Structures are given as structure tokens and as C-alpha cells.
Amino acid sequence: MPFATSLVFETLFRRHQLELLKFAGLHSNEEVAEDLVQEAYLRLMRQAQTEKIDNPRAYLYKITRNLSSDYLRQGQVRSRYQDDSGIELESIADPQPELEIEIEAQDKLQRCLDALDSLPEVYRHVLLLHRIDGMTYAEIGTALKIPARTVERYAAKALAHCFTKANDSI
């Protein structure tokens, strides 16, 4: 059953929230259990965007179990490496971006791709050869049989177009 609307997720959340909170709370306090269950739902929502999930309840339990195990492991690591240096482990940056940052980055990437798609083919080709393939203007000019100065102008116009389009919705 593919998930398409937030209503489906809300219904799923209301139906299984209490049992998942009890399940997650077996090894942690109530506040941590709430965080773990919320994270489980966020992961389910992300996963459901890319693939079909046949049994969302089982999937939620699996994610919650994994998150609980991770939480317990982190607690063990914290207690093992706790020292008197005054450095709080919570102050160390999390390598996984927050959901809002990830969504914003995906949105910006999509705007950039749309900007590339809206370029005339020769401009797009020049920009990709220069920025992605690392070719010089002279090499591109030779390959496309146009002057290097023209290649430079095309690249500049393409880049300006992409910056404008990518930043229009910000």
C-alpha cells in the first residue's frame, strides 16, 4: 500500500502511537520514547516516498526497535567515554542533517536541475563540460568547433541563468 497523503500517515500515527510508545519506553524514559517514535514515523514517511511498504505497522516496529537499540548503544558509549574535560557529547555536531535541511537541499537541487533543463542545449553542454568534466574553454571550443571566447560567454550566461533560476524561490 503506497502512502500518498499526510492523512494516511496521520491515521497510521493515531492508530499505533500508544503501542509504539510503550514498546520504545521499555528501555528508555517517556520523553526519549516519544522522540524515538516520532523519528520512526519520519523515517517511514521518507521511505514511503521511494518504495512500497506492505506492512507499515511492522516497519514502524522495526524502525523503533533499531532506534531504541541505537539509543541504548549511545548511552553505553557515553558512559564508557565520559570524562571530566567538560565537553558535552550533545554539543558535537550530528553528521546526519535534520529533515528540514535535507528537504531544503533536495528542493534547491531540483531547482538547479530545472534551471539546467531550461537552458539552450549548447549552453547546457558547455556548462557541463566545463564544470563537471573539468574541460578548459579552449578544449571545449576545439571539441565543439567554436571560439574559446564564445565558449566562455556561453558558460557565463549558463551559470548566471542557473544561479538566477535556483535562487528565484528562496
CATH code where residue 23 lies: 1.10.1740.10
| 89 is a domain residue | no
Greater model confidence, 8 or 156: 156
C-alpha 151/C-alpha 74 separation (Å) is 54
Q: Is 43 helix (H, G, I), strand (E, B) or coil?
A: helix
Residues 44 and 75 in one domain: yes
Element (H, E) at 112: helix 99-117
Please tell me the distance from the alpha carbon of residue 100 to that of residue 15, in angstroms, as a whole number: 26
Could you give the CA distance from residue 9 to residue 128 in angstroms, rounded to a whole number? 40
Q: Comparing 96 with 169, which gets the higher pLDDT? A: 96
Residue 88: inside a domain, yes or no? no
- Give the pLDDT score at 152: 94
Q: Using an 8 Å Cβ cutoff, are 158 and 124 in contact?
A: yes
Residues 45 and 11 in one domain: yes
Pick the last residue of a domain from 31, 49, 81.
81
Q: Is residue 87 situated within a structural domain?
A: no
Question: Coil, strand or helix: which one is 92?
Answer: coil
Which distant-in-sequence residues (6+ apart) come within 8 Å of 45 by Cβ? 3, 9
In this structure, are residues 166 and 108 in contact, taking their beta carbons and an 8 Å threshold? yes
Does 167 have pLDDT greater than 80? no
What pLDDT digit, counting tens, does each position of 51-91 carry? 787 888 888 888 888 888 888 787 776 666 665 555 565 56
* In contact, 67 and 24? CB cutoff 8 Å: yes
In terms of domains, do 67 and 18 share one? Answer: yes
Mark which of 48, 81, 114 sits at the end of a domain. 81
**124-153 per-position pLDDT tens digit:** 999 999 988 899 999 999 999 999 999 999
Asked if the model's pLDDT at residue 3 lies above 50, the reply is no
74: nearest Cα among 28, 20, 17, 38 = 28
Q: Which residue has the higher pLDDT, 124 or 6?
A: 124
Q: Domain span at residue 128?
A: 99-167
Which CATH number is 128's domain given? Answer: 1.10.10.10
What's the average model confidence in pLDDT over 7-19?
77
Q: Assess if residue 128 is contained within a domain.
A: yes
Assigned domain for 163 exists: yes
- Based on the structure, what is the number of domains in the chain? 2
pLDDT of residue 90: 58
Tens digits of residue pLDDT in 103-128 = 888 888 888 888 889 999 999 999 99
In a domain, 75, yes or no: yes
